[in-house]
């Protein structure tokens, strides 16, 4: 029983991490059609932001504040990544909206630059972020321990998805974003400021990447190449879910999370990785546009 | 004479919305048939079913009495001799006008044949003839994407002509054409009906009046009535849902 | 209201429009006629700001809008129904219509679609939750017109708005066009292939050929013979 | 290499000694995943070169390092090694971290009769005539560690490692040794390099209830593993973890508090108490910053440069064959103590040390082999080791 | 006229490659040989991407499979015990069955072409038949990379794991370290490149080539002209996989190593970048893109080992942003300008020509 709960929780927890890293992509890739290979590096920026905040707090503020630096780091990670996102949008992406596959190539260049920049600024080795004490330990239930850190990430994921859904489906700016991505010229003919919408949307997607980066510091490494660990998974989740549909992304992330942990438990991490990716390929053969499809009758 | 196309009680259901609710339609060889009806009646949908773009939920479509089109893939249907012009121009925008036509030739379309296909004098003549018919002689090497809307329409008609089809499906072919060109299209339709049947969807009543013999009216996914234009025009129901009560002037 | 002077415009390296001057007055309907490929759509796009003119000027309510982007022109009251409809295919009909509100200078407190468009096009009301791309051709065209009307434009650019629409609704749209011109003082530029129809509902007409204005005049007393030569191939 | 002798053996390698400098290659990953570890090795080697130059160079020539980036990509290592040998005509190359990078450079140095100094502990089963190995081979690190664990921490060992050649081969050795020395295998798991979710693996470890975990994870994965191990409440008191790829630098990236109480097996720690080390650590910090730490591979890289210089001096020539011949038996007072080159297999004699992580991120030595251990890459001196290699 | 000139350029380029050994140091020649292998891959990518609109982010796999086939042969040829060295230290005692045929060089070379083609055919058949297109296909091809690479790494005892295959000494009895052998291999590479190039030119000029371009423009429309895009796409995809396989075999012979890292996501994306930089719509552009990009990469990393990635990243960004059609596009537009200038001069007495 306890192993069942532990594994279910592990699955959900991995799923929530996957969801966090994929959410930003669901916007920049799912909605904006930008294949942002630098998404992983935006995650990295969020993680380093958390690190820097911790450094600053621990050297300039009283010791008892250190416990709460994380509260400060979350919004800052979002913000800094968002700002960097805007810069990338203004300098690179903007020219590529009608060439989605080219955006992949250009942002690949961006990711190389950001990685090397991180290496030059923070040094090549990993840096350590000490998570606040209040996240240490866990919650015991039926013999299983659910670490607070993982519960925290789960909560953060839920919070993010609720906020983002409201934003996308219930607000005018969400609607405008979708319109701009579908038909830029027509949207602008209706009075939508495409440039603003582009920047907002990309900033939002990048911000969520930063948020994911902040969350990842709790459980994983923080170094210049952290982004490369997550980028492929993130893309897989978005296409598995169905481009442009948040519900799909959520189901996809949790599905992959639970599937991975279950298979890994009975086989090995390597086999699990192979099987999960093979299943994704097979699934897409069966449902070529993902779990939640958005096809219309138009010819192409 | 036996019919070339028979739609037998065709139904189409889009997630609960019944776009076609049992359509029976028969087309004779060398016939030019007009299909009219209100927006959303299901005209495009029935063409989609015939050419395989949409699968019928039930019912069947028989071509030349024996071939059940429902079980064939799109390209197989085309190879049987059914050509389709879409409501929105669908041409290959990055190929030249000439190349667009070249690809449309009725030919063996399997990989090996096409790989080793050569441009013969005969095909060249055919392309030139069609170019003249569609009035794009001066645009032979222009990229099709740079044509105007109307020119694209013509190119797409030309591409269907290249195929020497036995059944030609035209979805609003004269939309966006001026008077003279409408006439040209009308005449062209009758010209080619010597060798094939044509099923035309059109909203322009003057055009229908002028070039139709048989007209089928659809409404809400069903056939409302069939007959010649004068009869159809008199039909109260058709007037109500489609034509409008009386001709209004501004 | 709208004054276009010596406009020259085109695509990349090819110039399509040359020396085009037209005028639209408040509450008047202008018809633009011409064969396929003469540059009618190009003119509309230039007016809307989708194409940059290489010479000439577009003056809207005494101010040049030459340098403005489409969204800025939309906010200044110019509405556009493009040829080919350009519906947002994966958005619902409702969302498409709500987007029309973006052109309004003052945002309404709540997102509500003015009910008069549903009176005009009842079918849209029935299909509010359907995806725009799933509508039939004519339904999409109706949606495109409705979307432009939602923004309460003062100048309406209509590029073949009747294409693919059933006769009874064509009549309806004709009436609507005239009504909003007369009652709300909206200026309208109408590109239409059907000469009879175009002349019937317009006040003034221009004929384009090879990117130039080759004839213009009052729609009510036209010498059909004279203009016919510009319209046949 | 193993099996085949090189066709170019004895061929005169081209070494450019025309000027008053001599070039050496420094080939590590400065980018890509491995740069997290390898950049420091470059730093250590450059420091050694600077020191030697400051005291007059070798054979009267200043050493001129040619730095190349292996980019964590093995074919790139091969390409760059070739470039260093053929184009720059370097006298030797210092480089590599992963075994894969060494295996990639091996045929290049053999075919060009070049020289490579490889400074990282590895899985053994190799001795190329053109490579000097200054890191530990298995019998200087892993074997003593296993013995120590069995004697001090328990018999049930769980093996986890990254899925590549070093951990797999190391674990093969460990399993033979466990059998021979009365240990038991509680489980054996591998995760892909860069893997970051260890929750499931930790569940499996919990199920297996081992006494100790022997960890051959490499790189980033260590961070995730230790953080997540701590989160489920497993401490070093419950199940101690002994790692062979976690040095001071890695601890900095994981956080000392996460690792406190766990063990590592190395030949050197920053805290190793020798006069040479005191100076070495001080110089390193002075040169690269107070927040930097040293560690075993860093020390081995630093030592490699000195050993090469000594061999050259002894040979009186830069010629590869002469240097190789001269190298046998050379001793050097390294920061880790006296090391000696074993000419037969071109590894070096080293002292094995078990250290425990302290709250400040440094190791406290808890055990050391009495004297330095003779390198035995093929484990020929162990009865249970005979079956491990087909070396004749 | 125009025809002849293009062909003349091809011949000049070929001659250039043939005389290159006269001017290059051994090491540089080795690099060029490696780049020419890459150029063969690039031609295949230009066919599927530039001409057919299929963006594969998994060509590293095909390259790798070809390379492994050759590598397996070389390992067996080089082994005195009949077992490759890595199997010995992985505890394998008898040669696995699927390794056995690779003792035969003809089989190995055949497999180096067939295996990648087969994988591409199977994968392509299902994906294309199920109408998976665009980004979906690209990402699926990445998933395939992940699967294959993880398997190759995980099955260390059969594949050599992360290390890959290396330490080759002879090929068909010839010493690979011999510079004369390396020169011969260089000329073989140039020859293969020329054949692959000519074949591809012929393909793109054929009617089938136009079908490919039509598929790029609008796949569904192609269906309604009676073509089955699936078979065309499978064909060109497998063809480009075969090219990559051939390139991989030549690569292994000259570079002396193949490892899973060469099949990974990064090299696969880089392959596409070579083509983007050279000009995806031009086969010659693709060839030069591969040479130029890799040349730049080598040069940057030799000169600035610390920040070369930043330079490379900038190169990618600048080319993608400002040269959407790559170097070939740049040449083309310069040519067009030149032509226009000329024709303007000739026709200066005429009034502006009118469209239509
Ligand atoms: N994929 C779909 N999902 C939902 N509804 C659909 C779909 N495709 C078509 N419809 C609906 O089916 C009905 C029939 O559409 P169809 O395009 O056949 O009409 P039509 O007769 O061609 O009209 P028009 O004259 O305006 O072109 C329309 O109400 C349309 O909204
Ligand atoms: N994107 C483009 N690039 C280059 N040339 C174009 C482009 N679009 C249109 N053209 C050319 O510009 C000319 C005018 O096109 P335009 O679309 O304005 O014609 P139109 O009068 O609207 O015709 P139609 O009645 O067919 O809609 C045509 O010759 C066309 O080939
Ligand atoms: N030799 C190692 N640690 O790969
Ligand atoms: Mg229709
Ligand atoms: Mg037009």
Question: Which DSSP string do the residues of C186-214 spell out, in sequence order?
Answer: -EEEEE-S-HHHHHHH-SEEEEEETTEEE
Residues belonging to chain A with any Cβ–Cβ distance to chain C shorter than 8 Å = 172, 175-176, 178-179, 182-183, 185-194, 244, 294, 296-298
Q: Are A118 and A51 in contact (CB under 8 A)?
A: no
Q: Which of A294-298, B32-36, C13-17 has the lowest mean pLDDT?
A: A294-298
Q: Which ligand is nearest to the CA of C165?
A: 1
Between A102 and E343, residue with greater pLDDT: A102
Class of residue C52 by CB neighbours under 10 A (exposed 0-12, middle 13-18, buried 19+): exposed
Residue ranges covered by each domain of chain E: 2-265
Site to substitute for ligand 1 among C135, C141, C163, most atoms within 8 A of C-beta: C135
Q: Which of B14-18, B77-81, D333-337, D361-365 has the lowest mean pLDDT?
A: B14-18
Q: Is A228 on the interface with D (CB under 8 A)?
A: yes
CA distance A296 to D207: 50
Which chains pack against D, by 3+ Cβ pairs within 8 A?
A, E
Domains of chain A: 2-95+127-286 (1.10.3470)
**Strand B167-171 relative to strand D353-357: parallel, antiparallel, unpaired?**
unpaired
Query: Quick one: D92 exposed, middle or buried, by C-beta within 10 A (0-12, 13-18, 19+)?
Result: buried
Closest residue in chain B to residue A299, using alpha carbons only: B90
Query: Looking at the complex, does the CB of residue A98 fall below 8 Å from at least one CB of chain B?
Result: no
Q: Confirm or reject contact between C84 and chain B (CB < 8 A).
A: yes
**CATH 3.40.50.300 boundaries in chain B:** 1-81+165-250
A193: CB partners within 8 A, 6+ apart: C71
Nearest residue of chain E to residue A113 (CA atoms)? E310
Query: Do A219 and D37 lie within an 8 Å CB cutoff?
Result: no
Contact between chains at A126 and D195 (C-beta distance less than 8 A): no
D contact residues 74-103, partner A, Cβ 8 Å cutoff: none
Q: Which helix (H) or strand (E) holds B215?
A: strand B214-219
Rounded Cα distance, B91 and B104, in Å: 11
Q: Please tell me the residue having the least CA distance from ligand 1 atom 2.
A: C134
Give the Cβ contact number of residue E87 at 10 Å: 24
Residue pair D160/D215 in contact (Cβ under 8 Å)? The answer is yes
Under 8 Å between Cβ of B35 and B201: yes
Confidence of residue E135 (pLDDT cuts 50, 70, 90): confident
- Which residues line the pocket of ligand 3, CB cutoff 6 A? D 98-99, 120-122, 166, 245
**Non-local CB neighbours of A48 within 8 Å, separated by 6+ positions:** A118, A122, A127, A213, A222
Percent of chain D with pLDDT over 70: 96
Give B41 Cα–ligand 1 centroid separation in angstroms.
7
Distance from CA of B90 to the nearest CA of A (A): 8
CA angle, D347 as apex, D367 and D153 as ends, to 5°? 25
Ligand 4 mean position, distance from CA E236 (Å)? 35
Closest Cβ–Cβ partner in B135, B149, B250 for C178 = B250
**Nearest residue to E242 via CA among E346, E112, E337:** E112
* Inter-residue contact E124 to A247 (CB < 8 Å): no
CB-based contact D35 A270, cutoff 8 Å: no
pLDDT digits (tens, 9 = 90+) for D282-312: 999 999 999 999 999 999 999 999 999 999 9
Tell me how close the Cα of E209 comes to any Cα of chain B, in angstroms: 8
What's the length of chain D? 392
Tokens of E105: 């060089």
Looking at chain B, which residue has its C-alpha nearest residue E52? Answer: B94
d(CA B18, CA B40): 11
Structure pTM? 0.93
Question: Is B140's Cβ below 8 Å from some Cβ in E?
Answer: no
Between CA B102 and CA B163 the distance in angstroms is 10
Tokens at residue E229, please? 């895009």
Task: State the average pLDDT for chain A.
Answer: 91
CATH of the domain at C155: 3.40.50.300
Give the span between the Cα atoms of E199 and E208, in whole angstroms: 13
Supply the pLDDT for residue D94: 98
Interface test with A, best of D44, D168, D196 (most A CBs within 10 A): D196
Average pLDDT score, chain E? 92
Nearest ligand to the C-alpha atom of residue D123 = 3
C91 → closest Cβ in A182, A185, A191: A182
Residue with tokens 């860069």: D194
Q: If you measure from the C-alpha of residue C83 to the centroid of ligand 2, how many angstroms do you get, rounded to a whole number?
A: 11
Average pLDDT over residues E96-102: 96
Report pLDDT for D9: 42
> What secondary structure does DSSP assign to D172-236, as a single string?
HHHHHHHHHHT-EEEEEEEE-TT----HHHHHHHHHH--SEEEEE--THHHHHHHHHHHHTT--T
Dist CA E327 CA E61 (whole Å): 27
What's the confidence (pLDDT) of residue D1?
Answer: 34
Write down the pLDDT at residue D391: 53
SS3 for B6?
strand
Query: Which residue's alpha carbon is nearest to atom 19 within ligand 2?
Result: C37
Out of B148, B153, B176, B182, give the residue to mutate to test ligand 2, the one with the largest number of ligand atoms within 8 Å of its CB.
B148
Kindly tell me whether chain A and chain E come into contact, counting contact as 3+ Cβ pairs under 8 Å: yes
pLDDT of B92 > 90? The answer is yes
Among candidates D299, D208, D209, D225, which has minimal Cα distance to D262?
D225
Q: Tell which wins on pLDDT, E306 or A41.
A: A41
Helix, coil or strand: residue C3: strand
Q: Catalogue the long-range contacts made by A83-87 (C-beta closer than 8 Å, 24 or more residues apart).
A: A83/A203, A84/A42, A84/A45, A84/A206, A85/A42, A85/A202, A85/A203, A85/A205, A85/A206, A85/A207, A85/A209, A86/A199, A86/A202, A86/A203, A86/A206
Model confidence band, residue C165 (pLDDT cutoffs 50, 70, 90): confident
pLDDT band at residue E353 using 50, 70 and 90 as cut-offs: very low
Q: Does ligand 1 come within 6 angstroms of the Cβ of B44?
A: yes
Under a CB-based contact definition with an 8 Å cutoff, are residues D134 and D310 in contact?
A: no
Strand partners, E96: none
Backbone angles phi, psi at A295, to 5 degrees: -65, 145
Which residues have CB under 8 Å from D217's CB, separation 6+? D160, D161, D162, D167, D191, D225, D243, D245
The pLDDT tens digits of the residues spanning D30-46 come to 998 889 899 999 999 99
Model confidence at C228, pLDDT cuts 50, 70, 90, reads confident
In this complex, do E259 and D75 lie within 8 Å of one another by their Cβ atoms?
Answer: yes
- The alpha carbon dihedral of E3, E9, E12, E18 has a sign of negative
Give the C-alpha separation, E269 to E281, whole Å: 17
* pLDDT greater than 70 at residue D347: yes
From residue C211, give the alpha-carbon distance in Å to each of A251, C19, C36, C216: 54, 8, 11, 14
What is the pLDDT averaged over residues C152-175?
Answer: 90
Residue whose C-alpha is closest to residue B153's, from A295, C208, E53, C193 = C193
What fold is seen in the domain B1-81+165-250?
Rossmann fold (3.40.50)
ipTM of the complex: 0.91
Beta carbon pairs, D and E, within 8 Å: 139
Q: Which domain holds residue C127?
A: 2-230
C-beta atoms of E217 and B94 within 8 A: yes
pLDDT of amino acid E354? 33
Interface of A with E in 171-190 (CB under 8 A): none
Is D39's Cβ below 8 Å from some Cβ in A? yes
Q: To which H or E segment does residue A47 belong?
A: helix A39-60
- The total of other beta-carbon atoms located within 10 Å of residue C208's CB is 25
- Chain C residues whose beta carbon lies within 8 Å of the beta carbon of residue A246: none
List the structure tokens of E302: 């030799």
Mean pLDDT of C51-70: 92
User: Cβ contacts (< 8 Å) between E89 and chain D: which residues?
Assistant: 123, 125, 165, 169, 388-389
E354/C contact by beta carbon, under 8 A = yes
Which residues share a beta bridge with B67?
Answer: B63
Separation in Å, CA C10 to CA B214, C38, C42, C45, C210: 44, 11, 7, 10, 12
A1 pLDDT tier (thresholds 50, 70, 90)? low
- pLDDT band of residue A298 (cuts 50, 70, 90) is low
Sheet holding D337-342, edge to edge: D62-69, D21-28, D93-95, D116-118, D131-133, D347-349, D337-342, D331-334
Residue D52 has pLDDT above 50, yes or no: yes
* Closest by Cα among D302, D304, D253 to D279: D302
For B63-88, b/e burial (b = at least 16 CB within 10 A) is: beeebebbebebbbbbbbbbbbbbbb
Ligand lying nearest the CA atom of residue D102: 3
The dihedral over CA atoms of A105, A109, A115, A116, expressed in degrees to the nearest 10, equals 160
* Residue A233 and residue A39 in contact, taking contact as beta carbons nearer than 8 Å: no
Ligand 3 atom at minimum distance from D164 CA: 4
The two structure tokens encoding residue E69: 């086939």
Of D295, D252, D297, the C-alpha closest to D277 is D295
**Structural domains in chain C (count):** 1
Sequence-separated (6 or more) residues with CB below 8 Å from residue E115 = E65, E66, E69, E245
- How many angstroms separate the CA atoms of E341 and B14, rounded? 57
C-beta of residue B101 within 8 angstroms of C-beta of residue E219:
no
CB count within 10 Å of CB A4 equals 10
Burial of D97 (0-12, 13-18, 19+ CB in 10 A): buried
Token pair for C166:
């059933």
Q: Is the dihedral of CA B180, B186, B189, B194 positive or negative?
A: negative
What is the distance in A from the centroid of ligand 5 to the CA of C197?
Answer: 17
Residue C35 has pLDDT above 80, yes or no: yes
- Strand order across the C212-218 sheet: C78-81, C155-159, C187-191, C29-33, C204-209, C212-218
In the 8-state DSSP scheme, what is residue D86? I
pLDDT band at residue A297 using 50, 70 and 90 as cut-offs: low
Ligand 2 atom closest to the CA of B147, numbered from 1:
31
């Amino acid at each position: 029983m306890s192993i069942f709960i532990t594994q279910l929780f592990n699955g959900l927890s991995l799923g929530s991490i996957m969801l966090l890293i994929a959410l930003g992509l669901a916007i920049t890739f799912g909605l904006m059609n930008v294949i942002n290979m630098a998404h992983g590096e935006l995650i990295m920026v969020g993680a380093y932001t958390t690190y820097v905040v911790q450094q600053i707090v621990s050297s300039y503020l009283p010791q008892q504040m250190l416990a709460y630096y994380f509260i400060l780091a979350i919004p800052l990670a979002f913000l800094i990544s968002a700002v960097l996102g805007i810069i990338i949008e203004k300098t690179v992406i903007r020219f590529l909206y009608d060439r989605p596959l080219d955006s992949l190539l250009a942002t690949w260049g961006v990711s190389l630059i950001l990685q090397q920049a991180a290496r030059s600024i923070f040094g090549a080795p990993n840096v350590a972020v000490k998570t606040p004490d209040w996240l240490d330990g866990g919650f015991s239930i039926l013999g299983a321990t659910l670490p607070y850190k993982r519960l925290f990430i789960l909560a953060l994921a839920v919070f993010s998805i609720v906020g983002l859904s409201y934003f996308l489906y219930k607000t005018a700016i969400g609607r405008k974003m979708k319109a701009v991505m579908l038909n830029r010229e027509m949207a602008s003919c209706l009075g939508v400021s495409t440039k603003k919408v582009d920047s907002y949307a990309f900033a939002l997607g990048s911000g969520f990447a930063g948020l994911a980066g902040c969350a990842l510091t709790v459980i994983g490494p923080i170094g210049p190449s952290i982004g490369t660990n997550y980028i492929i998974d993130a893309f897989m989740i978005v296409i598995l879910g169905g481009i442009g549909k948040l519900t799909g992304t959520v189901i996809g992330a949790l599905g992959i999370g639970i599937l991975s942990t279950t298979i890994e438990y009975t086989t090995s991490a390597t086999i699990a990785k192979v099987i999960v990716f093979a299943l994704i390929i097979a699934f897409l053969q069966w449902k070529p546009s993902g779990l939640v499809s958005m096809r219309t009758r138009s010819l192409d | 004479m036996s019919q070339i196309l028979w739609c037998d009680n065709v139904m189409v259901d889009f997630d609960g919305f019944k776009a076609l609710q049992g359509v029976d339609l028969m087309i004779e060889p060398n016939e030019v048939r007009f299909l009219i009806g209100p927006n959303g009646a299901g005209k495009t949908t029935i063409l989609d079913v015939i050419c395989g773009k949409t699968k019928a939920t039930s019912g069947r479509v028989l071509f030349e009495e024996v071939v059940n089109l429902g079980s064939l893939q799109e390209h197989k249907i085309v190879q049987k001799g059914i050509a389709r012009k879409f409501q929105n121009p669908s041409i290959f925008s990055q190929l030249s006008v000439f190349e667009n036509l070249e690809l449309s030739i009725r030919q063996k379309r399997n990989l090996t044949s096409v790989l080793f296909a050569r441009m013969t004098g005969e095909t060249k003549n055919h392309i030139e003839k069609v170019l003249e018919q569609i009035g794009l002689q001066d645009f032979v090497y222009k990229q099709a994407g740079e044509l105007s809307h109307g020119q694209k329409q013509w190119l797409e008609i030309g591409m269907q002509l290249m195929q020497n089809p036995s059944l030609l499906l035209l979805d609003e072919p004269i939309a966006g054409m001026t008077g003279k060109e409408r006439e040209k299209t009308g005449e062209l339709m009758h010209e080619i009906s010597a060798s094939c049947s044509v099923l035309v969807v059109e909203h322009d009543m003057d055009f229908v009046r002028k070039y139709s013999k048989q007209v089928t009216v659809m409404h809400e996914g069903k056939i409302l009535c069939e007959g010649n234009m004068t009869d159809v025009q008199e039909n109260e129901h058709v007037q109500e849902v489609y034509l409008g009560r009386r001709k209004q002037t501004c | 209201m709208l004054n276009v002077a010596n406009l020259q415009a085109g695509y990349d390296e090819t110039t399509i429009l040359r020396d085009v001057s037209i005028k639209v007055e408040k509450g008047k309907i202008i018809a633009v006629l011409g064969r396929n490929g003469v540059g009618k759509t190009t003119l509309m796009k230039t007016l809307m700001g989708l194409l940059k003119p290489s010479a000439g000027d577009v003056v809207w309510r005494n101010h040049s809008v030459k340098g403005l982007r489409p969204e800025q022109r939309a906010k200044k009251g110019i509405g556009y129904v493009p040829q080919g409809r350009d519906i947002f295919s994966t958005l619902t009909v409702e969302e498409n219509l709500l987007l029309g509100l973006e052109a309004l200078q003052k945002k309404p407190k709540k997102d509500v679609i003015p009910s008069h468009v549903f009176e005009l096009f009842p079918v849209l009301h029935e299909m509010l939750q359907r995806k725009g791309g799933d509508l039939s051709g004519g339904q999409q065209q109706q949606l495109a017109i409705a979307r432009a009307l939602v923004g309460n434009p003062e100048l309406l650019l209509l590029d073949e708005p009747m294409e693919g629409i059933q006769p009874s609704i064509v009549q309806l749209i004709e009436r609507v066009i005239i009504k909003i011109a007369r009652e709300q003082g909206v200026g309208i530029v109408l590109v239409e292939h059907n000469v009879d129809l175009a002349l019937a509902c317009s006040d003034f007409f221009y004929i384009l050929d090879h990117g130039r204005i080759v004839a213009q005049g009052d729609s009510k007393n036209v010498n059909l013979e004279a203009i016919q030569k510009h319209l046949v191939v | 290499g193993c099996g085949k002798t090189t066709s170019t053996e004895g061929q005169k390698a081209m070494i450019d000694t025309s000027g008053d400098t001599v070039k050496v290659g420094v080939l590590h990953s400065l980018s890509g995943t491995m740069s997290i570890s390898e950049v420091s090795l470059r730093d250590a080697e450059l420091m050694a070169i600077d020191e030697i130059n400051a005291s007059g160079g070798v054979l009267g020539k200043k050493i001129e390092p040619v730095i190349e980036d292996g980019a964590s990509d093995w074919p790139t290592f091969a390409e760059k090694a070739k470039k260093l040998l053929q184009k720059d005509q370097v006298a030797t190359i210092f480089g590599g971290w992963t075994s894969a990078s060494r295996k990639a450079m091996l045929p290049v140095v053999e075919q060009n009769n070049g020289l490579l100094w490889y400074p990282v502990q590895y899985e053994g089963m190799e001795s190329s005539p053109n490579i000097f190995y200054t890191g530990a081979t298995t019998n200087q690190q892993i074997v003593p560690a296993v013995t120590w664990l069995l004697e001090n921490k328990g018999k049930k060992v769980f093996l986890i490692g990254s899925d590549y050649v070093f951990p797999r081969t190391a674990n093969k050795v460990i399993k033979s040794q466990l059998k021979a020395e009365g240990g038991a295998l509680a489980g054996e798991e591998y995760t892909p390099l860069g893997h970051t979710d260890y929750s499931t693996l930790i569940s499996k470890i919990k199920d297996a209830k081992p006494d100790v975990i022997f960890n051959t994870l490499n790189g980033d994965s260590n961070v995730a593993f230790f953080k997540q191990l701590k989160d489920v409440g497993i401490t070093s008191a419950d199940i101690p973890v002994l790692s062979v790829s976690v040095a001071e630098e890695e601890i900095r990236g994981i956080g000392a508090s996460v690792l406190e109480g766990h063990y590592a097996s190395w030949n050197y720690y920053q805290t190793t108490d020798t006069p040479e080390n005191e100076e070495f650590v001080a110089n390193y910090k002075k040169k690269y910053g107070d927040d930097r730490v040293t560690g075993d591979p860093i020390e081995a890289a630093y030592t490699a440069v000195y050993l090469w210089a000594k061999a050259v001096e002894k040979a009186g020539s830069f010629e590869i064959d002469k240097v190789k011949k001269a190298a046998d038996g050379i001793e050097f007072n390294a920061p880790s103590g006296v090391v000696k080159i074993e000419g037969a297999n071109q590894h070096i004699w080293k002292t094995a040390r078990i250290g425990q992580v302290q709250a400040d991120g440094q190791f406290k030595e808890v055990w050391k082999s009495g004297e330095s251990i003779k390198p035995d890459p093929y484990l020929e001196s162990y009865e249970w080791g005979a079956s491990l290699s087909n070396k004749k | 006229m125009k025809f002849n000139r293009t062909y003349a350029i091809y011949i000049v380029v070929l001659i250039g490659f043939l005389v290159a050994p006269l001017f290059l140091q051994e090491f540089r020649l080795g690099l060029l040989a490696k780049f020419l292998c890459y150029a063969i891959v690039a031609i295949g990518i230009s066919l599927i991407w530039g001409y057919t609109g299929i963006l594969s982010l998994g060509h590293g796999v095909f390259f790798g499979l070809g390379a492994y086939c050759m590598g397996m042969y070389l390992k067996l040829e080089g082994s005195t015990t009949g077992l490759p060295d890595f199997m010995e230290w992985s505890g394998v005692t008898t040669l696995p069955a699927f390794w056995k045929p690779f003792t035969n060089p003809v089989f190995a070379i055949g497999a180096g072409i067939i295996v990648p083609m087969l994988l591409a055919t199977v994968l392509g058949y299902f994906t294309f038949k199920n109408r998976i297109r665009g980004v979906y296909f690209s990402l699926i091809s990445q998933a395939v990379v992940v699967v294959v690479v993880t398997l190759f790494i995980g099955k260390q005892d059969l594949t050599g794991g992360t290390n890959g295959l290396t330490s080759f000494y002879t090929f068909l009895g010839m010493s690979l370290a011999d510079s004369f052998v390396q020169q011969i291999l260089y000329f073989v590479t140039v020859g293969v490149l020329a054949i692959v190039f000519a074949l591809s030119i012929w393909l793109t000029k054929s009617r089938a080539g136009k079908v490919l371009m039509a598929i790029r423009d609008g796949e569904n429309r192609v269906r309604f002209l009676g073509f089955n895009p699936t078979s065309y796409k499978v064909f060109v995809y497998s063809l480009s996989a075969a090219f990559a396989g051939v390139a991989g075999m030549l690569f292994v012979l000259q570079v002396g190593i193949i490892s899973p890292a060469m099949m990974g996501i990064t090299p696969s994306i880089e392959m596409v970048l070579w083509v983007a930089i050279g000009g995806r719509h031009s086969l010659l552009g693709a060839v030069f893109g591969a040479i130029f990009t890799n040349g730049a990469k080598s040069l940057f990393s030799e000169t600035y080992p610390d920040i070369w990635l930043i330079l490379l990243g900038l190169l990618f960004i600048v080319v993608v942003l400002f040269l959407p059609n790559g170097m070939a596009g740049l040449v083309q537009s310069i040519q067009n300008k030149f032509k226009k200038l000329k024709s303007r001069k000739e026709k200066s007495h005429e009034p502006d020509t009118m469209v239509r």
